[in-house]
Amino acid sequence: DYWTFTDAPQVVPTVIDDFESGVSPGTPCTPGALPVGFCTFSDAASSVSIVTTDSPPVPVPGSEVGNHVLEVATNVSSGGGFAGVIRGFTTPQDWSRSEGLALWLYGNNTGKVLFIDILDNRAPGSTGDTAERFSVDIIDDFSGWQFVEIPFDSLDRKEVGNGAPNDGLTLTEVHGWAFGVFDAGEAFDNYLDDVSLYGVAELPDLTVNFSTSIFNITEGTTGPVTVKLNRPFTDEDPDEVSVDFTTEPGTAEPGRDYTPVSGTLTFTKAEADTERTFSIETFGDDKFFGNERIVLRLRNPVDVELGTGFQASAIIVDDDPFDSRLLDDFERGAYLWDASSNVTLSNPEYTQGSLMALPGQGAYESVLRASVLPPENIEIQGRICNEGTGVIPVRIRSTDTFDATTIDHTTVRLGNASEAHVDRKSGVARRHQAGGDLLFHFRFADTGLQCDPDFVPLTGLTFDGEPITGQVWRDFPLAQDWSRDEALSFWYYGTGSGDEVGVTLKDNAAADLGPSGWEMVWADEFDGAAGTPPNPENWTH
């Protein structure tokens, strides 16, 4: 028989590092800084050193006399220890057209775990080591030199807590590679030579993604958001592609925390630019809320596919200091507070410059409102406040225990519930609620109070001869130490009613008496053997 061979060009591996120029022995990597050249890393209990040598235990197969290799001497602790070397590039390299990474590796047949990392693209605008790590484990189950080929699609992402993006292995901006040893529990030396790229990768489809999953924007500033193609244009690609972008509410509120934006980004082959940006304007305030999130989405791609990174987040970074002495400012609601049964709690918000605005407040301020409810035999009807120009009809159901004469007559006018009312337009007589009920009206304009659509000033009410009062309080799950502070302070909005408002502190509670002083809330008994069906007659609820 016979073989037929084509005239396809031979693909020669591209050597990245052959170690003929030497390395700086034992130079530790600076945490968070960009690794450039060769540096070492390890946990506190492990050690590592590197040096180039032309005298490995045996020469690399096929190498010439005087060939230099990289010696990596490690003593890695057990229980999760690690150590290794990083090779950082001065400028990022494009490895997207290659199939994988190859190298000569000298093993010691220890059965321990060796690993190879690739440092892929960094976070946008980063000046530190925020490169993603994509890693593969190599079991040291061989002795002597072995040529290792690592296909890029065999790598898995490794989170190292350095703020790296999470947008997949793009290989268009490779910042370096690393070799290491994990959890060995013993000392040994490995040798490396001719770290290379091999093969020709199949050209991936053209896709568009956010450049990172998180964009940080300090509140009160305008920050850029970058969208990019996964690779440069080729002759086979369209001359132009586009994608729509939009912002959506997350924990940040549009119009208050940021200005919503949307639009279309266009990439052209002629410009040979694979990145486009749009900006998000955020608004500052003078209160600590914590970071807030804006959802970012890509939609409606034209002549390009959406990549896996079609959704991202813009984080509005709060630049206001956290006040550890602030007990509550009600910006997150009033759910920590309790009230007596005749008090309704609400959490209104007031804008700067409004009638109810706090002195010196910012654009928005939330407060706690405690509304003391009238007794059950009072029912408010009609449009509350009536825009401040009319009256508020209030019906009092007949009762033997309620004295209507205790109503404050400076703010209300009594009416006759059985008296017919003639509609001025139609001339039809309409009768108020029957049944002997009393009817009176608020003359709101005469009270001198603000016209608040959620508040009705029922002043001077009594029920069974006792003033109508209410309480609100907040109990802490654990006692707090206030001994280093001078006083308790808060803003309070008064109505000028002359009523007394009291403030009580619950201090130094009695010691827990133990089970003898506990109140049973729930109990269950399991008297039967395991697996025995219960007798329904024995159950009580």
Residue 199: the pLDDT is 92
Q: Torsions phi, psi of 496, nearest 5?
A: 75, 20
Say which residue, 436 or 467, is predicted with more confidence.
467
Residue 138: the pLDDT is 96
Q: Which helix (H) or strand (E) holds 444?
A: helix 444-447
DSSP 282: B
| Least confidently predicted of 183-187, 192-196, 461-465, 528-532 | 461-465
pLDDT at 165 over 90: no
Nearest-Å Rg of the Cα atoms of the chain is 38
| Least confidently predicted of 244-258, 300-314, 387-401 | 387-401
In this structure, the dihedral spanned by the alpha carbons of residues 103, 104, 107 and 113, taken in order and rounded to 10 degrees, is 0
pLDDT at 97 over 90: no
pLDDT band for position 153 (50/70/90)?
Answer: very high
pLDDT at 230 over 90: no
| Nearest CA-CA partner of 316 in 340, 280, 352 | 280
Neighbours of 316 (CB within 10 A): 27
The partner residues of 57 in beta bridges, in order of sequence, read none
pLDDT at 419 over 50: no
- Give the separation between CA 538 and CA 171, rounded to whole angstroms: 68
pLDDT at 535 over 70: no
Residue 13: the pLDDT is 77
> How many residues in the chain?
541
- Give the separation between CA 196 and CA 213, rounded to whole angstroms: 30
Please state the pTM of the whole predicted model: 0.57
Residue 343: the pLDDT is 84
| Least confidently predicted of 38-42, 104-108, 144-148, 427-431 | 427-431
Give the type of residue at 245: F
The partner residues of 30 in beta bridges, in order of sequence, read none
Share of the chain above pLDDT 90, in %: 50
What is the pLDDT averaged over residues 423-435? 45
pLDDT at 333 over 80: yes
pLDDT band for position 293 (50/70/90)?
Answer: very high
Burial zone of 180 (CB within 10 Å; 0-12 exposed, 13-18 middle, 19+ buried): buried
The partner residues of 84 in beta bridges, in order of sequence, read 41, 180
| Least confidently predicted of 65-79, 114-128, 340-354, 431-445 | 431-445
Residue 54: the pLDDT is 95
Mapped onto helix, strand or coil, the DSSP state of residue 359 is: coil
pLDDT at 434 over 50: no
pLDDT at 435 over 70: no
pLDDT at 418 over 50: no
Please report, for residues 60, 126, 479, 480, 519, the alpha-carbon distance to residue 506 in angstroms, rounded to integers and kept in the order given. Answer: 79, 51, 10, 11, 21
- Give the separation between CA 116 and CA 179, rounded to whole angstroms: 5
Q: 434 is written with which tokens?
A: 């029957």
| Nearest CA-CA partner of 500 in 470, 474, 528 | 470
- Give the separation between CA 463 and CA 397, rounded to whole angstroms: 13
- Give the separation between CA 168 and CA 203, rounded to whole angstroms: 16
pLDDT at 172 over 50: yes
Q: Torsions phi, psi of 423, nearest 5?
A: -70, 125
pLDDT band for position 394 (50/70/90)?
Answer: low
Say which residue, 304 or 9, is predicted with more confidence.
304
Sign of the CA dihedral running 456, 459, 463, 467: positive
What is the pLDDT averaged over residues 504-525? 83
Share of the chain above pLDDT 70, in %: 78
- Give the separation between CA 256 and CA 283, rounded to whole angstroms: 7
Say if residues 39 and 70 touch (Cβ distance below 8 Å): no
The partner residues of 376 in beta bridges, in order of sequence, read none
Mapped onto helix, strand or coil, the DSSP state of residue 516 is: helix
The partner residues of 393 in beta bridges, in order of sequence, read 441
Residue 409: the pLDDT is 47
Neighbours of 445 (CB within 10 A): 13
Say if residues 86 and 178 touch (Cβ distance below 8 Å): yes
- Give the separation between CA 115 and CA 111, rounded to whole angstroms: 13
Residue 519: the pLDDT is 83
Mapped onto helix, strand or coil, the DSSP state of residue 61 is: coil
pLDDT at 63 over 80: yes
| Residue recorded with tokens 């914590």 | 290
Q: 371 is written with which tokens?
A: 């509304």
Give the type of residue at 131: A
Residue 372: the pLDDT is 76
Residue 501: the pLDDT is 86
Average pLDDT of every residue of the chain: 82
- Give the separation between CA 384 and CA 393, rounded to whole angstroms: 9
| Least confidently predicted of 216-220, 381-385, 439-443 | 381-385
What is the pLDDT averaged over residues 287-315? 94
Burial zone of 62 (CB within 10 Å; 0-12 exposed, 13-18 middle, 19+ buried): exposed
